[in-house]
Amino acid sequence: MILLGILLNLFVIKGAVPSVVPVFPGTVDCIEAVQKCIKDPECKRQLRHLEYCVDEEAVAPLSLEGRQACVDAQNNLMHYQSLQECKCQRGSRMEQQCLSIYWTVRFPQGYDDIETSPYEDIELELVKNSETSKLASIVSVSSLPLTDQNQCLKAAQDCGLYEKCGSLRSEYALACTKIIPGTNHCNRHKCHRALRRFLERVPEEYSFGVLFCPCSDTLCGERRRKTIVPSCSYEERDGQPNCLNLESYCLKDNLCRSRLADFQQNCQPSSLSPSGCLRESGAVCLKAYAGLIGTIMTPNYVSNSSTEVSQWCNCEGSGNQWQDCLRILHMFNSNTCLRNAIDNMGSSTPRPVEGTPLPPPRPSPQVQHDELKINLLPEPNVVVESEEDEEEEEEEEEEDQTGGGGGFNVIPPFSDKATVTNLGSEAGRVHSSASTFSIPHFLLAALLLIALRWG
């Protein structure tokens, strides 16, 4: 029986543990809070009135009498504690609906508070269990010399060795470089959606490796800067917009507003903290920063020669709001918490486990060059997605949720003909083979039978 206990412990410890876990598991989700509210007639009536207020304000500013009625409804909901304290989960399927509830309850008083995150507090750890640790250790071993100049290429190759990372990276590369027929524009909405899917569903040891890889030369720096396809994800043909206008557009969108509030809370700098962060967690700051990618306020590196990041905007024509505009820029380019977190990211890569065998050789230089083409495609311009495209994206999202929710699997290194565009087919082949009955499972079953006979 001792042998049986050891075997079961080994298999249980390999269970998947998410890389982002709530610090307070008892936090109430806003959707659950609303379901509880609508069972109370008075709570339901006041909440419906607030929803009406938000809809009316989106069309035209409310009158003084109308706004006061909204304030009264909001005050009447104050004693419904679950609504006041509810939070949302990043990247969940119901995130948009949850955020809509969160901000509705805070209208009109508190609606402008974009320094308190609507998301659950998290504790970010890049490696949370032995299985992930082993996987990260295997892919961190490279046949390339570990010099700064090839770390971004290595990070991209490591991503390709992980089925989910490779396929979702291919997905956003296609979405952000595909030109709409009859135009010279990309579809920014689809690009943003695909970027968010990549960052929300790929473990941070891979997605962060691609985003924050250290560089010592401009070629590596340019590859890093073009990781999120800036020509489609945020750059405008007519030049940089004013930062105040950019923030104004962001605040009209619940997702962007929420990600910005999350960033301001988790990347708040402090001169008294060794890490430079008030919350003493550079990793949580990086998570919040990555959450902005794929929104109206997508940030990125300002050049190919430094780790300085900023928004694609300026303060020209700000008039007497010059200081307010500079505040937006300084959240990124003068933020010691964010800068230290990015600079320290290079030293947080998991090291190989002793005794881990080396993986097969990396792709040839020609294959590496082909894979690099993801960042060398022509720079398309941007248009807004039509309603038909939005419906198509929603259908794709539902298909992925129902059919692609399996665990992450390791895939073999690229073949000589492999590129970023055929990762999907390779991933499918490996996924199908993973469903077969493995030898370790057979041995476990046999040992269980023997143990039962002993008992």
What is the average per-residue pLDDT within 141-150?
48
Q: Which residues of 207-233 are buried (b: 16+ CB within 10 A; e: fewer)?
A: bbbbbbbbbeeeebbbbbbbbbbbbbb
* pTM for the model: 0.71
Confidence of residue 111 (pLDDT cuts 50, 70, 90): confident
**Beta-bridge partners for 20:** 124
Confidence of residue 2 (pLDDT cuts 50, 70, 90): very low
Mean pLDDT rounded to a whole number for the chain: 76
Confidence of residue 129 (pLDDT cuts 50, 70, 90): very low
Q: Is the predicted pLDDT of residue 30 greater than 70, yes or no?
A: yes
pLDDT for 35-77, tens place per residue? 999 999 999 999 999 999 999 999 999 999 999 999 999 999 9
What is the average per-residue pLDDT within 366-395?
42
User: Considering only 104-108, 246-250, 397-401, 409-413, which range has the smallest mean pLDDT?
Assistant: 409-413
| Cα distance between residue 437 and residue 185, in whole Å | 48
Q: What local confidence, expressed as pLDDT, does residue 394 receive?
A: 53
pLDDT for 319-334, tens place per residue? 999 999 999 999 999 9
Q: Is the predicted pLDDT of residue 156 greater than 90, yes or no?
A: yes
CA nearest neighbour of 101 among 258, 261, 260: 258
| Cα distance between residue 66 and residue 194, in whole Å | 40
Q: What local confidence, expressed as pLDDT, does residue 448 receive?
A: 64
Q: Is the predicted pLDDT of residue 390 greater than 80, yes or no?
A: no
Q: Is the predicted pLDDT of residue 138 greater than 50, yes or no?
A: no
Q: What local confidence, expressed as pLDDT, does residue 377 receive?
A: 37
